[in-house]
Amino acid sequence: MIKSFKQLDGILRGDATRMSAIKDGRIETPIGGLSVVTVFLGAVYGVCMGAYAVIRTGGTDNDAYMQMLASAVKLPLLFFLTLAVTLPSLYVFNALVGSRLSVVSVIRLLVAMLGVMLAVLASFGPIIVFFSVSTESYPFMKLLNVLAAAMAGVLGLAFLLRTLHRLILAQEVIDTPQQLMEALEDDGDESDDEGAEENPAGVLDTVGEGTSNRARSVFRVWVIVFSLVGAQMSWVLRPFIGKPDMPFTWFRERDSNFFIDVLDAIAKLFGA
């Protein structure tokens, strides 16, 4: 567990996705250990989400604790199911455009992305708990959680696109070693070189200029698909927070969709 956390830390710091680490066009982040940590972080955030139900009922209602438990289980599920739904089409189109990224590389990359997303999300946990303690308003909590998830999503997907960019770049220059050397220098990672760039590239930085665009477009479209599917998946798996006047259930009836509900929450918050 500690080791996996260190690996996640390496990903967050960008050590795992430096040009020097992926120069053979493969990403070496582990899948198993990282998934465990990711699930754990998701559960932590789920507990923070469920805290609203527990605090609102004063901690006396068993249903509220069930809600907390359900959120802790469902939150990691939300992310992994979203991935499961969007992965097959990603694989097909990635192969269709002739990308040289292997399936394993793609999966490693996506698990690393989930790690980034849930690490960011879990770090918002204390803020969510604090507002749960002090807020009665259900629409406010809903929107706050949507905002936190959106920020985590944006950062995670930015990580994905940038890392992908580097991977494609690394593969392109395998045939032309000189370019690889230049790319490595651009990275500023070779700290033994005194003249190198002062700042080591962060995990969200663009490195070098790439040329292969088709694989990148596939991922760009996929990022949008992932966001939409994720949003709707969160709706399918609701309740996460637990509407005050509704009894606890693991899932709700099929009804409406995520986007209508967010608009509805905004309208309610503004008293319409």
Partner 1 sequence: MRTLLIGIDDLLRARPRVVVGRAHGPRQIILLMVVFGFLYGAVMGSFGGVTGERFWQVVYSAAKVPLLLALTFAISLPSFFVINTLLGLRDDFAKALRALVATQAALTVVLASFAPFTALWYASSADYQSALLFNTLMFGSASVTAQLLLLRLYRPLIASNPRHRVMVRLWLVIYAFVGIQMGWVLRPFIGSPHNPTTFFRQEAWGNAYVEVVRIFMKVFGW
Tell me how crowded residue 84 is: count the other CB atoms within 10 A of its CB: 12
**CB 161, min distance to partner 1, A:** 14
- In the set 116, 180, 233, 265, which binds partner 1 (CB under 8 A)? 116
Q: Residue 213: how many CA atoms within 13 Å on its side-chain side?
A: 1
- 186-205: contacts with partner 1 (CB under 8 A): 198-205
Residue 271 makes contact with partner 1 by CB under 8 A = yes
Instruction: Decide whether 249 or 264 has the Cβ nearer to partner 1.
Output: 264
Instruction: Decide whether 148 or 233 has the Cβ nearer to partner 1.
Output: 148
> What is the token pair recorded at 178?
């000189």
Residue 270 makes contact with partner 1 by CB under 8 A = yes
- In the set 45, 52, 79, 159, which binds partner 1 (CB under 8 A)? 159
Instruction: Decide whether 84 or 127 has the Cβ nearer to partner 1.
Output: 127
- Select from 64-72, 79-87, 112-120, 255-263 the region that touches partner 1 (CB under 8 A): 112-120
> What is the token pair recorded at 190?
């070779």
Do 112 and 27 touch, CB atoms closer than 8 A?
Answer: yes
- Select from 28-36, 84-92, 117-125, 166-174 the region that touches partner 1 (CB under 8 A): 117-125
Do 150 and 124 touch, CB atoms closer than 8 A?
Answer: no
**CB 158, min distance to partner 1, A:** 9
- How far is it, in rounded angstroms, from Cα 213 to Cα 166? 13
Distances (CA, A) of 184 to 25, 165, 179, 196: 13, 14, 9, 10
**CB 267, min distance to partner 1, A:** 12
- 74-103: contacts with partner 1 (CB under 8 A): none
Instruction: Decide whether 113 or 233 has the Cβ nearer to partner 1.
Output: 113
**CB 236, min distance to partner 1, A:** 27
- 122-141: contacts with partner 1 (CB under 8 A): 122-127, 130-131, 133-137, 140
**CB 184, min distance to partner 1, A:** 17
Residue written as tokens 């002062």? 198
Give the helix ranges, DSSP H, for the chain. 2-13, 32-56, 62-96, 103-123, 125-134, 138-172, 177-187, 214-236, 258-269
For residues 7 to 26, the per-residue mask of contacts with partner 1, x marking binding by CB under 8 A and - elsewhere, is: --x--xxx------------
**CB 81, min distance to partner 1, A:** 24
Instruction: Decide whether 172 or 187 has the Cβ nearer to partner 1.
Output: 187
- Cis geometry, peptide bond prior to residue 247 (ω within 30 degrees of 0): no
> What is the token pair recorded at 82?
């979203």
Do 82 and 118 touch, CB atoms closer than 8 A?
Answer: no
145: amino acid identity, one letter: N
- Cis geometry, peptide bond prior to residue 239 (ω within 30 degrees of 0): yes
> What is the token pair recorded at 15?
């050590």
- List of residues contacting partner 1 (CB under 8 A): 9, 12-14, 116, 119-120, 122-127, 130-131, 133-137, 140, 155, 159, 198-205, 269-272
